[in-house]
Amino acid sequence: MKSFRHLASYALALCFVPFLFAERDVVFPPPESPHPPPALAPPNTENGSEVTDILPDPGPAPRNDQGRSPPPPTNLTVIYKLQYGETLQYTQADGTKQKFEQWKSYPNDADRLVTRVNRDLADGNNYQYANKPLVSDGFDPADIPILYMTGDYDFKFTESEVAHLHKYLTDGGTIIFNAARGRDEFSAAVAREMAKVFPQKKFMRLPPDHPVFNSKFRIRQVLTQTSGIQSSLPVEVYSMDIGTRAAAILVPMGLGASWTGTAYHAEGKHIVGEGAMRLGVNLVAYVLGSTTYSRFLAQQFPVYTDKTREGDRFRYALVRYSGSWDVNPGLQNSMLFSLHDNTKINVDFAPNVVALDEPALRNFPLVFMTGHYDFELTGKEAKGLAEYVERGGMVVASAAAGLKPFDTAFRREMDKAFPGNKMIKIPPTHPIFSAGWSSIDKVSYTANALSEHPDLDSPEFYGLFVGDRLAVLYTPYDLNSGLNGESNAYAKGIDTTDAQRISNNIITYALSH
Protein backbone atom coordinates (compact mmCIF):
# COMPACT_ATOMS: atom_id res chain seq x y z
CA MET A 1 0.00 0.00 0.00
CA LYS A 2 1.62 3.21 -1.12
CA SER A 3 2.05 6.11 1.27
CA PHE A 4 1.15 9.71 0.48
CA ARG A 5 4.22 10.26 -1.71
CA HIS A 6 2.95 12.24 -4.68
CA LEU A 7 2.78 15.43 -2.58
CA ALA A 8 5.98 14.93 -0.62
CA SER A 9 8.20 17.15 -2.77
CA TYR A 10 5.51 19.81 -2.90
CA ALA A 11 5.14 19.69 0.89
CA LEU A 12 8.89 20.19 1.26
CA ALA A 13 8.81 23.25 -0.96
CA LEU A 14 6.00 24.74 1.10
CA CYS A 15 8.19 24.66 4.19
CA PHE A 16 9.78 27.85 2.91
CA VAL A 17 6.53 29.78 2.36
CA PRO A 18 6.61 32.88 4.59
CA PHE A 19 3.83 33.31 7.12
CA LEU A 20 4.77 36.84 8.15
CA PHE A 21 1.83 38.91 7.00
CA ALA A 22 -1.76 39.08 8.19
CA GLU A 23 -3.10 39.06 4.64
CA ARG A 24 -1.43 36.67 2.25
CA ASP A 25 -2.07 36.92 -1.48
CA VAL A 26 -3.36 33.75 -3.13
CA VAL A 27 -3.77 32.91 -6.80
CA PHE A 28 -6.82 30.63 -6.52
CA PRO A 29 -10.17 32.31 -5.85
CA PRO A 30 -12.24 31.53 -2.75
CA PRO A 31 -15.47 29.58 -3.33
CA GLU A 32 -17.59 32.69 -2.73
CA SER A 33 -15.93 34.79 -5.44
CA PRO A 34 -16.78 34.93 -9.16
CA HIS A 35 -14.73 32.42 -11.13
CA PRO A 36 -14.72 30.94 -14.64
CA PRO A 37 -18.02 29.20 -15.52
CA PRO A 38 -17.89 25.67 -14.08
CA ALA A 39 -19.12 22.54 -15.74
CA LEU A 40 -22.70 21.84 -14.84
CA ALA A 41 -23.09 19.91 -11.61
CA PRO A 42 -24.71 16.52 -12.14
CA PRO A 43 -27.95 15.79 -10.34
CA ASN A 44 -27.54 14.71 -6.72
CA THR A 45 -28.12 11.05 -7.49
CA GLU A 46 -25.89 8.02 -7.63
CA ASN A 47 -24.13 7.58 -10.95
CA GLY A 48 -24.58 4.23 -12.64
CA SER A 49 -20.86 3.49 -12.51
CA GLU A 50 -20.66 3.92 -8.75
CA VAL A 51 -20.67 0.87 -6.54
CA THR A 52 -22.16 2.15 -3.29
CA ASP A 53 -24.41 -0.44 -1.74
CA ILE A 54 -26.24 0.01 1.54
CA LEU A 55 -24.98 -2.53 4.04
CA PRO A 56 -27.42 -4.41 6.25
CA ASP A 57 -27.80 -2.80 9.67
CA PRO A 58 -25.95 -5.11 12.12
CA GLY A 59 -27.79 -3.66 15.12
CA PRO A 60 -30.80 -5.13 16.91
CA ALA A 61 -34.28 -4.70 15.49
CA PRO A 62 -36.37 -1.96 17.14
CA ARG A 63 -38.72 -3.20 19.83
CA ASN A 64 -42.46 -2.96 19.53
CA ASP A 65 -43.55 0.09 21.57
CA GLN A 66 -47.25 -0.67 21.11
CA GLY A 67 -48.08 2.74 19.70
CA ARG A 68 -46.28 4.76 22.37
CA SER A 69 -44.46 7.90 21.27
CA PRO A 70 -40.70 7.38 20.93
CA PRO A 71 -38.46 9.36 23.27
CA PRO A 72 -37.07 12.61 21.89
CA PRO A 73 -33.69 12.31 20.17
CA THR A 74 -30.54 13.06 22.13
CA ASN A 75 -28.70 16.15 20.91
CA LEU A 76 -25.00 15.41 20.47
CA THR A 77 -22.41 17.75 18.99
CA VAL A 78 -20.06 15.32 17.26
CA ILE A 79 -18.16 17.58 14.85
CA TYR A 80 -16.23 20.78 15.38
CA LYS A 81 -15.34 22.53 12.16
CA LEU A 82 -12.00 24.15 12.92
CA GLN A 83 -11.36 27.85 12.55
CA TYR A 84 -7.71 28.25 11.59
CA GLY A 85 -5.27 30.14 9.42
CA GLU A 86 -5.13 33.73 8.21
CA THR A 87 -7.03 36.43 6.40
CA LEU A 88 -6.19 35.85 2.74
CA GLN A 89 -6.45 38.15 -0.23
CA TYR A 90 -7.35 37.37 -3.83
CA THR A 91 -7.20 39.85 -6.71
CA GLN A 92 -10.10 39.62 -9.14
CA ALA A 93 -9.64 40.04 -12.89
CA ASP A 94 -10.85 43.65 -12.65
CA GLY A 95 -8.25 44.44 -9.97
CA THR A 96 -10.67 44.26 -7.05
CA LYS A 97 -9.03 42.78 -3.96
CA GLN A 98 -11.16 40.32 -2.02
CA LYS A 99 -10.28 39.50 1.57
CA PHE A 100 -11.59 36.33 3.23
CA GLU A 101 -10.97 34.01 6.17
CA GLN A 102 -8.95 30.93 5.23
CA TRP A 103 -11.06 28.39 7.12
CA LYS A 104 -14.44 29.42 5.67
CA SER A 105 -14.41 27.25 2.53
CA TYR A 106 -18.05 26.23 2.01
CA PRO A 107 -19.49 27.61 5.29
CA ASN A 108 -22.44 25.19 5.29
CA ASP A 109 -20.62 21.95 4.45
CA ALA A 110 -20.50 20.46 7.96
CA ASP A 111 -24.10 21.50 8.60
CA ARG A 112 -25.32 19.77 5.44
CA LEU A 113 -23.24 16.68 6.21
CA VAL A 114 -24.62 16.33 9.74
CA THR A 115 -28.17 16.70 8.41
CA ARG A 116 -27.51 13.80 6.03
CA VAL A 117 -25.87 11.74 8.81
CA ASN A 118 -28.98 12.11 10.96
CA ARG A 119 -31.14 10.93 8.07
CA ASP A 120 -29.01 7.93 7.08
CA LEU A 121 -27.91 6.64 10.50
CA ALA A 122 -31.27 7.26 12.21
CA ASP A 123 -29.89 5.85 15.47
CA GLY A 124 -31.99 7.94 17.86
CA ASN A 125 -29.48 10.76 18.17
CA ASN A 126 -29.76 14.26 16.78
CA TYR A 127 -26.16 14.91 15.77
CA GLN A 128 -25.02 18.51 15.55
CA TYR A 129 -21.90 20.46 14.69
CA ALA A 130 -20.25 23.72 15.79
CA ASN A 131 -17.32 25.92 14.84
CA LYS A 132 -14.37 26.34 17.17
CA PRO A 133 -10.90 27.89 16.82
CA LEU A 134 -8.02 25.48 16.51
CA VAL A 135 -6.05 27.75 18.86
CA SER A 136 -8.49 27.10 21.72
CA ASP A 137 -7.46 25.26 24.88
CA GLY A 138 -7.79 21.86 23.30
CA PHE A 139 -10.56 19.34 22.70
CA ASP A 140 -11.87 16.37 24.67
CA PRO A 141 -12.65 13.37 22.43
CA ALA A 142 -15.20 12.17 24.99
CA ASP A 143 -17.26 15.25 24.14
CA ILE A 144 -16.24 15.89 20.52
CA PRO A 145 -15.13 12.74 18.64
CA ILE A 146 -14.51 14.50 15.29
CA LEU A 147 -12.60 17.60 14.25
CA TYR A 148 -13.10 18.72 10.66
CA MET A 149 -10.65 20.94 8.81
CA THR A 150 -11.03 22.01 5.20
CA GLY A 151 -9.59 24.55 2.80
CA ASP A 152 -7.81 25.25 -0.46
CA TYR A 153 -4.58 26.90 0.63
CA ASP A 154 -1.33 26.27 2.44
CA PHE A 155 -1.38 26.61 6.23
CA LYS A 156 0.93 26.11 9.18
CA PHE A 157 0.24 24.83 12.70
CA THR A 158 1.61 26.71 15.68
CA GLU A 159 3.50 24.78 18.37
CA SER A 160 0.48 24.89 20.68
CA GLU A 161 -1.80 23.61 17.91
CA VAL A 162 0.60 20.72 17.29
CA ALA A 163 0.55 19.89 20.99
CA HIS A 164 -3.26 20.13 21.21
CA LEU A 165 -3.76 17.88 18.19
CA HIS A 166 -1.27 15.29 19.46
CA LYS A 167 -3.07 15.06 22.79
CA TYR A 168 -6.52 15.02 21.20
CA LEU A 169 -5.67 12.22 18.76
CA THR A 170 -3.79 10.06 21.28
CA ASP A 171 -6.69 10.50 23.72
CA GLY A 172 -9.00 8.92 21.14
CA GLY A 173 -10.15 11.76 18.87
CA THR A 174 -10.23 11.82 15.08
CA ILE A 175 -9.51 14.67 12.68
CA ILE A 176 -10.82 14.67 9.11
CA PHE A 177 -9.05 16.85 6.54
CA ASN A 178 -10.57 17.67 3.16
CA ALA A 179 -9.10 19.71 0.34
CA ALA A 180 -12.31 21.62 -0.30
CA ARG A 181 -11.83 21.82 -4.08
CA GLY A 182 -9.11 19.20 -4.41
CA ARG A 183 -6.16 21.61 -4.24
CA ASP A 184 -2.80 19.85 -3.76
CA GLU A 185 -1.60 22.93 -1.89
CA PHE A 186 -3.88 22.11 1.05
CA SER A 187 -3.21 18.36 1.03
CA ALA A 188 0.54 18.89 0.93
CA ALA A 189 0.29 21.20 3.93
CA VAL A 190 -1.69 18.53 5.80
CA ALA A 191 1.05 15.96 5.11
CA ARG A 192 3.78 18.36 6.23
CA GLU A 193 2.05 19.67 9.35
CA MET A 194 0.83 16.27 10.57
CA ALA A 195 4.43 15.07 10.37
CA LYS A 196 5.02 17.53 13.23
CA VAL A 197 2.19 15.98 15.24
CA PHE A 198 3.39 12.39 14.67
CA PRO A 199 7.01 12.44 13.41
CA GLN A 200 7.19 8.63 13.23
CA LYS A 201 4.01 8.20 11.20
CA LYS A 202 3.04 8.84 7.59
CA PHE A 203 -0.15 8.93 5.61
CA MET A 204 -1.08 5.60 4.02
CA ARG A 205 -3.76 5.09 1.40
CA LEU A 206 -6.66 3.09 2.81
CA PRO A 207 -7.39 -0.22 1.05
CA PRO A 208 -10.83 -1.01 -0.42
CA ASP A 209 -11.68 -3.37 2.45
CA HIS A 210 -11.07 -0.71 5.10
CA PRO A 211 -14.18 -0.01 7.22
CA VAL A 212 -14.16 3.66 6.13
CA PHE A 213 -15.52 2.35 2.82
CA ASN A 214 -17.98 -0.06 4.44
CA SER A 215 -19.22 1.44 7.72
CA LYS A 216 -22.66 2.41 6.35
CA PHE A 217 -22.48 2.19 2.56
CA ARG A 218 -20.28 -0.11 0.53
CA ILE A 219 -18.27 2.31 -1.60
CA ARG A 220 -15.87 1.13 -4.28
CA GLN A 221 -15.93 3.89 -6.90
CA VAL A 222 -17.21 7.45 -6.98
CA LEU A 223 -17.95 9.93 -9.73
CA THR A 224 -15.19 12.55 -9.89
CA GLN A 225 -14.64 15.75 -11.80
CA THR A 226 -11.12 17.01 -12.54
CA SER A 227 -10.67 20.17 -14.59
CA GLY A 228 -14.23 19.79 -15.84
CA ILE A 229 -13.86 16.16 -16.95
CA GLN A 230 -15.94 13.52 -15.18
CA SER A 231 -14.91 9.92 -14.59
CA SER A 232 -15.63 7.09 -12.19
CA LEU A 233 -12.62 6.24 -10.00
CA PRO A 234 -11.75 4.25 -6.86
CA VAL A 235 -12.09 6.29 -3.68
CA GLU A 236 -8.85 7.92 -2.54
CA VAL A 237 -8.55 8.36 1.24
CA TYR A 238 -5.36 8.50 3.35
CA SER A 239 -4.83 7.95 7.05
CA MET A 240 -2.36 8.22 9.90
CA ASP A 241 -3.21 5.39 12.25
CA ILE A 242 -3.05 4.77 15.98
CA GLY A 243 -3.23 1.02 16.35
CA THR A 244 -5.40 0.10 13.38
CA ARG A 245 -7.63 3.13 13.98
CA ALA A 246 -7.63 5.85 11.35
CA ALA A 247 -6.91 8.83 13.62
CA ALA A 248 -6.06 11.52 11.04
CA ILE A 249 -7.97 11.10 7.77
CA LEU A 250 -7.22 13.02 4.58
CA VAL A 251 -9.55 13.12 1.58
CA PRO A 252 -7.55 14.94 -1.12
CA MET A 253 -10.45 15.36 -3.58
CA GLY A 254 -13.00 18.06 -2.83
CA LEU A 255 -16.21 17.25 -0.99
CA GLY A 256 -17.42 20.77 -0.19
CA ALA A 257 -19.33 21.51 -3.40
CA SER A 258 -21.28 18.24 -3.24
CA TRP A 259 -22.02 18.60 0.46
CA THR A 260 -23.39 22.12 -0.03
CA GLY A 261 -25.07 21.52 -3.38
CA THR A 262 -23.11 24.29 -5.11
CA ALA A 263 -21.30 24.43 -8.46
CA TYR A 264 -18.00 22.66 -9.05
CA HIS A 265 -15.01 24.83 -9.87
CA ALA A 266 -13.73 24.20 -13.41
CA GLU A 267 -10.12 23.93 -12.18
CA GLY A 268 -10.89 21.85 -9.11
CA LYS A 269 -10.82 18.13 -8.34
CA HIS A 270 -14.14 17.07 -6.86
CA ILE A 271 -16.03 13.98 -5.74
CA VAL A 272 -19.45 14.73 -7.11
CA GLY A 273 -23.03 13.78 -6.42
CA GLU A 274 -24.23 11.04 -4.11
CA GLY A 275 -20.82 9.43 -3.74
CA ALA A 276 -19.49 12.45 -1.84
CA MET A 277 -22.43 12.44 0.56
CA ARG A 278 -22.13 8.71 1.22
CA LEU A 279 -18.41 8.98 1.85
CA GLY A 280 -19.09 11.73 4.38
CA VAL A 281 -21.70 9.60 6.15
CA ASN A 282 -19.27 6.67 6.18
CA LEU A 283 -16.53 8.80 7.76
CA VAL A 284 -18.81 9.88 10.60
CA ALA A 285 -20.22 6.36 11.08
CA TYR A 286 -16.68 4.93 11.17
CA VAL A 287 -15.58 7.31 13.91
CA LEU A 288 -18.72 6.75 15.99
CA GLY A 289 -18.26 3.00 15.66
CA SER A 290 -14.64 3.26 16.82
CA THR A 291 -15.19 5.09 20.11
CA THR A 292 -14.73 2.05 22.37
CA TYR A 293 -11.58 1.01 20.51
CA SER A 294 -10.34 4.61 20.69
CA ARG A 295 -10.70 4.60 24.48
CA PHE A 296 -8.82 1.30 24.67
CA LEU A 297 -5.89 2.73 22.72
CA ALA A 298 -5.91 5.93 24.79
CA GLN A 299 -5.28 4.19 28.11
CA GLN A 300 -1.92 4.10 29.84
CA PHE A 301 -0.50 0.62 29.30
CA PRO A 302 1.81 -0.93 31.92
CA VAL A 303 5.46 -0.21 31.32
CA TYR A 304 7.78 -3.04 32.36
CA THR A 305 10.80 -1.54 34.11
CA ASP A 306 12.39 -4.65 35.63
CA LYS A 307 15.33 -6.42 34.01
CA THR A 308 14.94 -9.57 31.98
CA ARG A 309 15.07 -12.64 34.18
CA GLU A 310 17.50 -15.50 33.91
CA GLY A 311 16.56 -19.12 34.12
CA ASP A 312 13.99 -21.43 32.61
CA ARG A 313 11.47 -18.78 31.51
CA PHE A 314 9.62 -18.40 28.25
CA ARG A 315 10.30 -15.27 26.20
CA TYR A 316 9.36 -14.25 22.70
CA ALA A 317 9.67 -11.17 20.51
CA LEU A 318 7.63 -9.02 18.15
CA VAL A 319 9.07 -8.64 14.67
CA ARG A 320 9.97 -5.06 13.74
CA TYR A 321 9.95 -4.26 10.02
CA SER A 322 9.20 -1.34 7.73
CA GLY A 323 5.43 -1.82 7.91
CA SER A 324 2.80 -1.35 10.63
CA TRP A 325 4.34 -3.85 13.03
CA ASP A 326 3.38 -2.20 16.34
CA VAL A 327 -0.42 -1.90 16.29
CA ASN A 328 -1.37 -3.79 19.48
CA PRO A 329 -0.11 -1.84 22.52
CA GLY A 330 0.35 -4.00 25.58
CA LEU A 331 0.09 -7.21 23.55
CA GLN A 332 3.15 -8.90 25.00
CA ASN A 333 1.94 -8.42 28.56
CA SER A 334 -1.54 -9.72 27.67
CA MET A 335 -0.16 -12.77 25.88
CA LEU A 336 2.29 -13.71 28.60
CA PHE A 337 -0.21 -13.15 31.40
CA SER A 338 -2.70 -15.47 29.69
CA LEU A 339 0.00 -18.09 29.19
CA HIS A 340 1.21 -17.98 32.79
CA ASP A 341 -2.28 -17.77 34.29
CA ASN A 342 -3.60 -20.77 32.32
CA THR A 343 -0.56 -23.05 31.98
CA LYS A 344 1.63 -21.97 34.92
CA ILE A 345 4.61 -21.75 32.55
CA ASN A 346 7.23 -19.34 33.87
CA VAL A 347 7.45 -16.29 31.67
CA ASP A 348 9.71 -13.27 31.29
CA PHE A 349 7.48 -10.20 31.07
CA ALA A 350 10.22 -7.99 29.66
CA PRO A 351 9.01 -6.87 26.18
CA ASN A 352 11.22 -7.82 23.26
CA VAL A 353 11.32 -6.42 19.74
CA VAL A 354 13.67 -7.73 17.07
CA ALA A 355 14.32 -7.21 13.38
CA LEU A 356 14.64 -10.19 11.06
CA ASP A 357 18.19 -9.22 10.07
CA GLU A 358 19.50 -8.88 13.65
CA PRO A 359 21.69 -11.55 15.30
CA ALA A 360 19.48 -11.27 18.41
CA LEU A 361 16.71 -13.02 16.47
CA ARG A 362 18.27 -16.39 17.29
CA ASN A 363 17.68 -15.76 21.02
CA PHE A 364 13.94 -16.33 20.70
CA PRO A 365 12.30 -19.68 19.93
CA LEU A 366 9.15 -17.90 18.80
CA VAL A 367 8.40 -14.54 17.17
CA PHE A 368 5.09 -12.90 16.35
CA MET A 369 4.48 -10.68 13.34
CA THR A 370 1.51 -8.50 12.41
CA GLY A 371 0.47 -5.47 10.38
CA HIS A 372 -2.40 -4.12 8.30
CA TYR A 373 -0.73 -2.50 5.28
CA ASP A 374 1.44 -3.62 2.40
CA PHE A 375 5.13 -4.12 3.18
CA GLU A 376 8.28 -5.54 1.62
CA LEU A 377 11.15 -7.30 3.36
CA THR A 378 14.68 -6.33 2.46
CA GLY A 379 17.04 -8.96 1.10
CA LYS A 380 18.77 -9.18 4.48
CA GLU A 381 15.46 -9.55 6.31
CA ALA A 382 14.29 -12.34 4.00
CA LYS A 383 17.62 -14.13 4.42
CA GLY A 384 17.52 -13.68 8.21
CA LEU A 385 14.00 -15.05 8.33
CA ALA A 386 14.94 -18.14 6.29
CA GLU A 387 18.00 -18.82 8.47
CA TYR A 388 15.98 -18.36 11.67
CA VAL A 389 13.40 -20.89 10.54
CA GLU A 390 16.05 -23.36 9.32
CA ARG A 391 17.68 -23.24 12.77
CA GLY A 392 14.41 -24.20 14.46
CA GLY A 393 12.64 -20.91 15.12
CA MET A 394 8.91 -20.47 14.61
CA VAL A 395 7.05 -17.46 13.18
CA VAL A 396 3.41 -16.75 14.03
CA ALA A 397 1.71 -14.04 11.97
CA SER A 398 -1.76 -12.54 11.66
CA ALA A 399 -3.32 -9.74 9.63
CA ALA A 400 -4.17 -6.88 11.96
CA ALA A 401 -7.90 -6.10 11.76
CA GLY A 402 -8.05 -8.83 9.09
CA LEU A 403 -7.22 -6.35 6.32
CA LYS A 404 -6.30 -7.63 2.88
CA PRO A 405 -3.09 -5.63 2.12
CA PHE A 406 -1.10 -7.40 4.85
CA ASP A 407 -2.49 -10.77 3.81
CA THR A 408 -1.36 -10.24 0.21
CA ALA A 409 2.04 -8.89 1.24
CA PHE A 410 2.77 -11.63 3.80
CA ARG A 411 2.04 -14.43 1.35
CA ARG A 412 4.19 -12.71 -1.29
CA GLU A 413 7.14 -12.17 1.08
CA MET A 414 7.01 -15.78 2.33
CA ASP A 415 7.25 -16.92 -1.29
CA LYS A 416 10.39 -14.79 -1.65
CA ALA A 417 11.98 -16.02 1.57
CA PHE A 418 11.08 -19.69 0.95
CA PRO A 419 11.00 -20.23 -2.82
CA GLY A 420 9.30 -23.46 -3.76
CA ASN A 421 7.91 -23.99 -0.26
CA LYS A 422 4.26 -22.93 -0.21
CA MET A 423 2.01 -22.35 2.77
CA ILE A 424 -0.81 -24.86 3.06
CA LYS A 425 -4.02 -24.80 5.06
CA ILE A 426 -3.71 -26.36 8.52
CA PRO A 427 -6.61 -28.72 9.34
CA PRO A 428 -8.28 -28.50 12.77
CA THR A 429 -6.96 -32.01 13.44
CA HIS A 430 -3.34 -30.80 13.47
CA PRO A 431 -1.71 -31.28 16.91
CA ILE A 432 -1.37 -27.51 17.36
CA PHE A 433 -5.16 -27.43 17.73
CA SER A 434 -6.12 -30.97 18.74
CA ALA A 435 -3.35 -32.01 21.14
CA GLY A 436 -2.14 -28.80 22.72
CA TRP A 437 -2.98 -27.14 26.01
CA SER A 438 -6.66 -27.05 24.99
CA SER A 439 -8.37 -29.00 22.24
CA ILE A 440 -9.76 -26.54 19.69
CA ASP A 441 -12.06 -27.59 16.87
CA LYS A 442 -14.50 -24.68 16.86
CA VAL A 443 -13.61 -21.00 16.98
CA SER A 444 -15.78 -17.93 17.53
CA TYR A 445 -15.15 -14.99 15.20
CA THR A 446 -16.09 -11.34 15.41
CA ALA A 447 -19.31 -10.09 13.84
CA ASN A 448 -17.32 -8.22 11.20
CA ALA A 449 -15.60 -11.43 10.10
CA LEU A 450 -18.89 -13.35 10.06
CA SER A 451 -20.56 -10.66 7.97
CA GLU A 452 -18.32 -11.76 5.09
CA HIS A 453 -18.17 -15.49 5.90
CA PRO A 454 -21.23 -16.52 7.98
CA ASP A 455 -20.19 -20.19 8.10
CA LEU A 456 -16.76 -19.51 9.57
CA ASP A 457 -16.41 -21.57 12.77
CA SER A 458 -13.05 -23.38 12.70
CA PRO A 459 -9.41 -22.25 12.99
CA GLU A 460 -8.44 -20.60 9.68
CA PHE A 461 -4.65 -20.98 9.66
CA TYR A 462 -1.99 -21.66 7.05
CA GLY A 463 1.42 -23.17 7.61
CA LEU A 464 4.84 -23.49 6.04
CA PHE A 465 6.76 -26.64 6.92
CA VAL A 466 10.48 -27.33 7.12
CA GLY A 467 10.58 -31.09 6.81
CA ASP A 468 7.82 -32.26 9.12
CA ARG A 469 8.10 -29.25 11.42
CA LEU A 470 5.57 -26.42 11.35
CA ALA A 471 7.82 -23.37 11.03
CA VAL A 472 5.49 -20.55 9.95
CA LEU A 473 1.89 -20.31 11.15
CA TYR A 474 -0.32 -17.61 9.63
CA THR A 475 -3.95 -16.51 9.78
CA PRO A 476 -5.51 -13.86 7.52
CA TYR A 477 -7.80 -13.01 10.45
CA ASP A 478 -6.92 -10.82 13.41
CA LEU A 479 -5.58 -12.92 16.26
CA ASN A 480 -3.89 -10.21 18.32
CA SER A 481 -6.85 -7.86 18.90
CA GLY A 482 -8.78 -10.63 20.61
CA LEU A 483 -5.70 -11.80 22.49
CA ASN A 484 -5.14 -8.23 23.70
CA GLY A 485 -8.77 -7.70 24.70
CA GLU A 486 -9.25 -4.86 22.21
CA SER A 487 -12.85 -3.85 21.54
CA ASN A 488 -12.30 -3.11 17.88
CA ALA A 489 -15.75 -3.29 16.29
CA TYR A 490 -14.27 -3.30 12.79
CA ALA A 491 -11.72 -6.07 13.27
CA LYS A 492 -12.24 -9.23 11.26
CA GLY A 493 -10.77 -11.65 13.72
CA ILE A 494 -11.05 -14.25 16.46
CA ASP A 495 -12.93 -13.47 19.67
CA THR A 496 -10.99 -12.94 22.88
CA THR A 497 -11.51 -16.28 24.63
CA ASP A 498 -10.61 -18.38 21.60
CA ALA A 499 -7.72 -16.09 20.69
CA GLN A 500 -6.19 -16.73 24.12
CA ARG A 501 -6.75 -20.47 23.82
CA ILE A 502 -5.10 -20.54 20.39
CA SER A 503 -2.18 -18.44 21.61
CA ASN A 504 -1.57 -20.77 24.55
CA ASN A 505 -1.73 -23.78 22.21
CA ILE A 506 0.73 -22.19 19.79
CA ILE A 507 3.26 -21.41 22.52
CA THR A 508 3.04 -24.79 24.23
CA TYR A 509 3.32 -26.49 20.82
CA ALA A 510 6.37 -24.41 19.92
CA LEU A 511 8.08 -25.19 23.23
CA SER A 512 7.51 -28.93 22.79
CA HIS A 513 8.74 -28.96 19.17
What is the extent of the structural domain holding 102? 8-28+46-57+70-297
Q: What angle do CA 442, 446, 447 make, to 5 degrees?
A: 120
CB < 8 Å & 24+ apart, contacts of 94-101? 98/29, 98/30, 98/33, 99/23, 100/30, 100/32, 100/33
245 and 361 co-located in one domain: no
CA dist 503 and 24 (Å) reads 58
363 and 239 co-located in one domain: no
CA dist 353 and 268 (Å) reads 46
What phi, psi does 504 have (nearest 5°)?
A: -65, -40
Amino acid 289: pLDDT: 95
In a domain? residue 256:
yes
Q: Which of 390, 30, 399, 396 is nearest to 181 (CA)?
A: 30
Per-residue pLDDT of the chain in tens (513 residues, 90 and over written 9): 445 544 444 444 444 344 444 579 998 988 876 544 444 444 444 443 455 555 544 433 333 444 445 555 567 889 999 999 999 999 998 899 999 999 988 989 999 999 999 999 999 999 999 999 988 777 899 999 999 999 999 999 999 999 999 999 999 999 999 999 999 999 999 999 999 999 999 999 999 999 999 999 999 999 999 999 999 999 999 999 999 999 999 999 999 999 999 999 999 999 999 999 999 999 999 999 999 999 999 998 877 766 666 666 888 999 999 999 999 998 988 998 898 898 888 888 888 999 999 999 999 999 999 999 999 999 999 999 999 999 999 999 999 999 999 999 999 999 999 999 999 999 989 999 987 677 898 999 999 999 999 999 999 999 999 999 999 999 999 999 999 999 999 999 999 999 999 999 999 998 887
The total number of structural domains in the chain stands at 2
Q: What letter does residue 357 receive in the DSSP assignment?
A: T
377 contacts 405 by C-beta, under 8 angstroms: no
261 and 351 co-located in one domain: no
124 contacts 116 by C-beta, under 8 angstroms: no
194 and 293 co-located in one domain: yes
Amino acid 281: pLDDT: 98
pLDDT (tens digit, 9 = 90+) per residue, 18-63?
444 457 999 898 887 654 444 444 444 444 345 555 554 443 333 3
272 and 123 co-located in one domain: yes
In a domain? residue 131:
yes
113 and 127 co-located in one domain: yes
In a domain? residue 63:
no
CA dist 331 and 333 (Å) reads 5
Amino acid 53: pLDDT: 59
358 contacts 410 by C-beta, under 8 angstroms: no
Instruction: Tell me, letter by letter, the H, E, C secondary structure of 296-322.
Output: HHHCCCCCCCCCCCCCCCECCEEEECC
193 and 229 co-located in one domain: yes
In a domain? residue 225:
yes
In a domain? residue 187:
yes
252 and 267 co-located in one domain: yes
In a domain? residue 313:
yes
**Domain's final residue, options 277, 297, 317:** 297
Amino acid at 432: I
Identify any residues that bridge with 150 across adjacent strands, giving them in sequence order: 178
In a domain? residue 494:
yes
253 and 241 co-located in one domain: yes
In a domain? residue 287:
yes
**Domain's final residue, options 297, 318, 341:** 297
429 and 286 co-located in one domain: no
**Domain's final residue, options 260, 282, 297:** 297
Biggest CA–CA distance in the chain, Å, is 83
Find the CATH number of the domain harbouring 428. Answer: 3.40.50.12140
445 and 413 co-located in one domain: yes
Task: Classify the phi-psi angles of 197: left when phi > 0, otherwise alpha if psi is within -120 to 50, otherwise beta.
Answer: alpha
372 and 266 co-located in one domain: no
